[in-house]
Amino acid sequence: MAEDKQKLSEFEAANLLELYLKDGVPSGNFDGAKPAFVKKGEAIPKVFIPLLLRSNRNYIANLPYDSGIPKLTKEQEEEYGIAFTVVKKERKVVKDKYSQESLNVKLAELGDDKFKDYAEEICGAKVIDRRKSVKSIIVKMLKIQEVGRR
């Protein structure tokens, strides 16, 4: 009986689990595998814990979480060979150089023809089509800015 206690983990089943072992290794295929049924609230055998931690955490009832990430002790990480780390990525909010409003103000200051010259300086003569209306040029400038952000 003490031998069985060593094979069981500290984690409990959230529901009735039907797990399979083939040659001492967890198996997804039940052909030639031995079934292992774990009732709700019972301890899960240690051999299944790495598999459940990787892909089926919702089957473990008493798995602690911190900000949506499973939290294991150092001993558990070493025993099961799994560590959950948080990778914090610093995000920068890039302020747009141009907005619809600022370009409309510039248009009011310069007038249509001079605004088209201004748009060619900013975006290039190959990108800006002078035959288009100034409103469509403003939209084109904003689209270019949005693509550059991505």
Q: Would you say residue 29 has pLDDT above 50?
A: yes
Neighbours of 77 (CB within 10 A): 14
Q: Given a cut of 90, is residue 2 above it in pLDDT?
A: no
37 DSSP β-pair partners: 18
Q: Using one digit for the tens of pLDDT, what is the confidence trace for 80-126? A: 888 887 777 766 666 778 889 999 999 999 999 999 999 998 888 88
Question: Which long-range CB contacts under 8 A does 140-145 form with residues at least 24 apart?
Answer: 141/98, 141/103, 142/98, 142/99, 142/100, 142/103, 145/96, 145/97, 145/98
DSSP bridge partners of 35: 20
Residue pLDDT, tens place only, 38-91: 899 999 998 999 989 888 888 898 888 888 888 888 998 888 888 887 777 766
Residue 137 confidence (pLDDT) above 80: yes
φ/ψ bin of 142: left (φ > 0), alpha (ψ from -120 to 50), beta (otherwise)? alpha
Q: Please tell me the predicted confidence (pLDDT) of residue 56.
A: 86
User: Among candidates 75, 13, 14, 10, which has minimal Cα distance to 46?
Assistant: 10
Q: What is the per-residue pLDDT for 55?
A: 86
CA distance 142 to 136: 10
Q: Domain ranges in the chain?
A: 2-80, 100-149
Q: What's the pLDDT score for residue 107? A: 92
- Average pLDDT of span 5-24: 84
Q: What confidence score (pLDDT) does residue 3 get?
A: 43
CB count in 10 Å sphere of residue 132: 13
Task: Using alpha carbons, select from 124, 114, 123 the residue that is nearest to residue 141.
Answer: 123
- Quick check: pTM over 0.75? no
